[in-house]
Amino acid sequence: MRKRYAAICLLLWSVLPLAGCWDSMELEQRGFVIGVAIDEGNAPLHPNHTNGKQSFKVTFQEVIPAGLKQEGGSGSSLAGESYFNVTLEGKTMLSIIAKMSTMTSRTPFFEHLKLIVVSEKVAQSDYGFANVLDYFLRNNDARRNVSVMVAKGEAKSVLSTVPQGEKTPVMFIQSISKNQDTYRMVPETRIGDIHEYLLKRQSFVIQKVTSKDSSISLIGGGIMDGIKNNLVGFMDEMETAGFNFLREGIRGGVLEVDVGDNLVAYKVEQVSRRVNTDLSDPSNPKFTIELWVEGSILEAFERRDYLEQPTIEEIEAKVNESVQRLVNETLNKTQNQLKRDVLGVGNHLKERHPGVWKQLEQEWDTGRNYFANSDIQVKANVEVRRIGSVNNTERR
Amino acid sequence: MANLRSWKYGDERIGGKETVFTITSLMIGVGILTLPRTVAKATNSSDGWMSILIAGGITLIMAWLVAKLSTRFRNRTFLEFVGDKAGKPVAMAVGLAFFLYFLSFTSYITRSVAELTKQYLFERTPVEVVSLGFLLVVIYAVSGSRVGLVRLTMLFLPFVLLVTGVFLLMSVNLFELKKLMPVLHSDWGSILNGVQESIFSFLGFEGVLFYVTLMRKPEEAPKLTLIGVMIAIVTYVSIYLFTIAVFSYEVTENIMYPTIELAREVTVPGDFFERLESLFLIFWLVSIFATTSIALDVSVQSVRCFTKLDKKKLLYVLAPILYLLSMYPQNIVQLSNLGKLVSYMGIVTALVIPLLIFLIVKLREVMARA
């Protein structure tokens, strides 16, 4: 009998911990933040306050789960219902998020964060860029594959673009940046990779997003300085293309070349590169970047017999020229104008010639700037592999 | 005899595979999660795998020595053996060292498990509660059959290794060989720093001394121990190479738990199967539960040369000490200091004591012959 009472008591006692689950949180209480846009706030509240040099105006994009559901075709076109944006100001991300909890019905939750947009101004300020990313790296909700982009102008407006074919602006931007067939955009820059560049003190290129009248474009890229970790300039469409060729970042893309009097469109399929280094004078390294470009002809207005070797060779030479032109623009931008090594030649030295790198490391893209003074030659080998399904479309 | 064969698990004895996994499990503890960071930080280059290999080599030699020693027990326990060969006082000193080491090892793991689950699973549950829960389950396990503990590791550890293998393979598309460059360009000083760091993650194999008496064929112990240590070496080296090739060493030395972050990086195309790290954490938790139980069991076994108390009463006495010790570190820095202290004690029990006993035994043999 006593044993039975003891058992009942034990059972009742075991109910106690059930009520006290600290971490129980219903799904309905979580607010899933999928995008964050960070702009510069108004002037610091106290000018001589040393801890908070900067304040930020942060916009959060939260999804409304009910709005994301497909309801039999009806109502799904109302894109405005599937997300909302909240903008708040503060000095640290954490304090801003704490403020946010007082204003939205759900607790913000970053596990599904997809995109962080940093405004041009914040990215340009000294160390501001790394400061705003600290929270998202330190907090273990967010993953290391969150995309980070720099907005030309205001970041907030990027999150207010009208999504086309997607439910929310963030998903829209995400699916654009995943498109494979252009070299005018920089490949996705993940926060994990950026963390790596920041720790390596290496200059890098970051995705750029421009919003204009509720439409956006991801053409171009931002160049970040490796020492101060701030934005030093933007690359335009052509410079980005050249950059993608140089970094093997090509995921497809089209080069239009003049053959005869007409255009032929060459589709780039694959680029591989090899860097050859000449270190006969260690303080003035010479690099030869060899590129192997492979692709096919997918559109041709010039009527020729494309099954003839000379025709193919002519096109290859023309494509080669235009690759050279793109690459030279990029070299001009990075070596002569901005003097920042985003091409990874410094990293190549570090990997292959660590001894030489030790000597040059400190003043690679600052001070004496060995990078800007190094001699970089690009040699492209273009191959036309295929010509498509027909030889010619009409007879002239 | 035929009947006895079918009653395979009824004989309170452990077989070959179980021995191998017990040894691996005793070594792969918290180290599997933090090793890439500590080694990357110590070597400050991507050459840390060499440190792990060297440390693994040292461990192989020591583990072989330990196991060789254990083949001479002939149905005596380790401490009885030491008592016979070197006298009672030495046996008591050895027992005390093993007791202290495995006791603080248990506390350290308990707290580490609590800290880790706090960071990744229960953000708002106090570590005190998680530790208490974990410790109670461990004590419950230890008060039962000793062979049962060994079978637990046999049950869980293969899954940890399997999940680790799966996420390493799936991270292959993030693997960049050039992050491992430059190869072989570190000086010996930094490699040796790395050896010191990584040897900490190999300690624990000496626990096998307390399980040889349970083995069906104790004469196989040296071979099985070597296999167990090899599994740990291969696991560590591959985890290290993958974390470096995915994150680069600069990043790895800044990530608290690189192995978990690596599991978090893995995504299967289609966003269908994203949270591989929770799977890994679950298996790791049950496996570390088995490891901790074995460690506590070793501690209990070694204190029994001092007292006649039976195992359960002894556990009642030890439980509060364990809990208080695991709650002693006030922050993550003190916890890692405790970890270092535990590791230095481990060097004594895993390297110094076996070597001394081995020398004593050899010396007595030589003297007996002379």
Report the pLDDT value the prediction gives residue A80, as an integer from 0 to 100. 47
DSSP secondary-structure letter at A142?
A: S
Tell me if A22 and B125 make a contact (CB, 8 A cut-off): yes
Tell me if B248 and A23 make a contact (CB, 8 A cut-off): no
Report the pLDDT value the prediction gives residue A75, as an integer from 0 to 100. 44
Tell me if residue B353 falls in helix, strand or coil. Answer: helix
Report the pLDDT value the prediction gives residue B318, as an integer from 0 to 100. 92
* Min Cα separation B231/chain A (Å): 30
CA nearest to B251 within chain A: A196
Of B121, B123, B251, the CB nearest to A199: B251
Residues paired with A118 in a beta bridge: A38, A150
Distance between CA atoms of residues B37 and B32, nearest Å: 10
Under 8 Å between Cβ of B285 and B64? no
Interface of B with A in 171-200 (CB under 8 A): 178, 181-182, 185
A56-63 vs A83-90, strand pairing mode: antiparallel
Extended beta strands in A110-203, E state: 115-119, 147-152
Domain edges within chain A: 27-235, 237-396
Burial label for B2, CB within 10 Å (0-12, 13-18, 19+), is exposed
User: Which H/E stretch holds residue A286?
Assistant: strand A286-300
Reply yes or no on whether the pLDDT at B276 is more than 90. no
Kindly list the residues from chain A whose CB atom is less than 8 angstroms away from the CB atom of residue B120: 140
Report the pLDDT value the prediction gives residue B204, as an integer from 0 to 100. 86
Under 8 Å between Cβ of B185 and B45? yes
Distance between CA atoms of residues A364 and B50, nearest Å: 30
* Min Cα separation A392/chain B (Å): 39
Kindly list the residues from chain B whose CB atom is less than 8 angstroms away from the CB atom of residue A354: 182, 185
Residue B364: give its domain's CATH number.
Answer: 1.20.1740.10
Burial label for B357, CB within 10 Å (0-12, 13-18, 19+), is buried
Q: Provide the percentage of residues in chain B whose pLDDT is more than 70.
A: 95
CA nearest to A138 within chain B: B255
Distance between CA atoms of residues A227 and A202, nearest Å: 7
Which ranges of chain A have pLDDT less than 70? 19-20, 43-53, 67-80, 249
* Min Cα separation B196/chain A (Å): 25
Q: What mean pLDDT do residues B343-367 have?
A: 89
Q: Is residue B3 part of a domain?
A: no
A147-152 vs A107-109, strand pairing mode: unpaired
Tell me if B248 and A196 make a contact (CB, 8 A cut-off): yes
Q: What mean pLDDT do residues B13-42 have?
A: 88
Under 8 Å between Cβ of B62 and B266? no
Q: Is residue B2 part of a domain?
A: no
Distance between CA atoms of residues A91 and A45, nearest Å: 10
Q: Which of B188-202, B265-279, B345-359 has the lowest mean pLDDT?
A: B265-279
Q: What is the tens place of the pLDDT at every residue in B46-101? A: 888 999 999 999 999 999 988 888 888 878 888 888 888 888 888 899 999 999 99
| B120: contact with A, CB 8 A cutoff | yes
Q: What's the domain range around B36?
A: 16-369
Tell me if A352 and B182 make a contact (CB, 8 A cut-off): yes
Q: Identify the contact set of chain A against chain B, taking CB-CB distances under 8 A.
A: 21-23, 140, 143-145, 192, 195-196, 199-200, 350-352, 354
Distance between CA atoms of residues B300 and A20, nearest Å: 33
Tell me if B265 and A192 make a contact (CB, 8 A cut-off): yes
| B271: contact with A, CB 8 A cutoff | no
Q: Is residue B54 part of a domain?
A: yes
Tell me if B247 and A145 make a contact (CB, 8 A cut-off): no
Extended beta strands in B57-105, E state: none
* Min Cα separation A278/chain B (Å): 18
Reply yes or no on whether the pLDDT at B269 is more than 70. no
CA nearest to A139 within chain B: B119
Tell me if B251 and A350 make a contact (CB, 8 A cut-off): no
| B278: contact with A, CB 8 A cutoff | no
Q: What mean pLDDT do residues B318-346 have?
A: 92
Under 8 Å between Cβ of A24 and A54? no
Q: What mean pLDDT do residues B281-303 have?
A: 90
Q: What count of residues does chain B have?
A: 370
Kindly list the residues from chain A whose CB atom is less than 8 angstroms away from the CB atom of residue B121: 23
Per-residue CA distances from B233 to B43, B49, B53, B184, B209 (Å): 18, 10, 7, 19, 20
User: Which of B219, B209, B228, B103 lies closest to B154, judged by CA?
Assistant: B228
Q: Which of B128, B185, B247, B251 to mutate to test the interface with A (most CBs of A within 10 A)?
A: B251
Q: Is residue B95 part of a domain?
A: yes
Of B120, B129, B261, the CB nearest to A144: B261
* ipTM of the complex as predicted: 0.83
Q: What is the tens place of the pLDDT at every residue in A158-182? A: 988 888 888 888 888 888 888 877 7
Residues paired with A233 in a beta bridge: A223
Report the pLDDT value the prediction gives residue A73, as an integer from 0 to 100. 46
Of B122, B251, B267, the CB nearest to A195: B251
**Per the structure, how many domains does chain B have?**
1
Tell me if B251 and A23 make a contact (CB, 8 A cut-off): no
Residue B279 tokens read as 């799977």
Report the pLDDT value the prediction gives residue A25, as an integer from 0 to 100. 75
Report the pLDDT value the prediction gives residue A164, as an integer from 0 to 100. 81
User: Which of A34, A54, A36 lies closest to A44, judged by CA?
Assistant: A54
Neighbours of A280 (CB within 10 A): 7
Under 8 Å between Cβ of A284 and A249? no
Residue B83 tokens read as 């008592």
Under 8 Å between Cβ of B215 and B19? yes
| B248: contact with A, CB 8 A cutoff | yes
The set of residues, in sequence order, having a beta carbon less than 8 Å from that of B337 and lying 6+ positions away, is: B329
Q: Is residue B250 part of a domain?
A: yes
Q: What is the tens place of the pLDDT at every residue in A182-233? A: 788 888 889 999 999 999 888 999 999 998 877 888 888 999 988 888 899 9
Residue range A237-396, CATH number = 3.30.300.210
| B251: contact with A, CB 8 A cutoff | yes
User: Which of A209, A208, A229, A384 lies closest to A304, judged by CA?
Assistant: A384
- The model carries a pTM of 0.88
Reply yes or no on whether the pLDDT at B239 is more than 60. yes
Tell me if B247 and A192 make a contact (CB, 8 A cut-off): yes
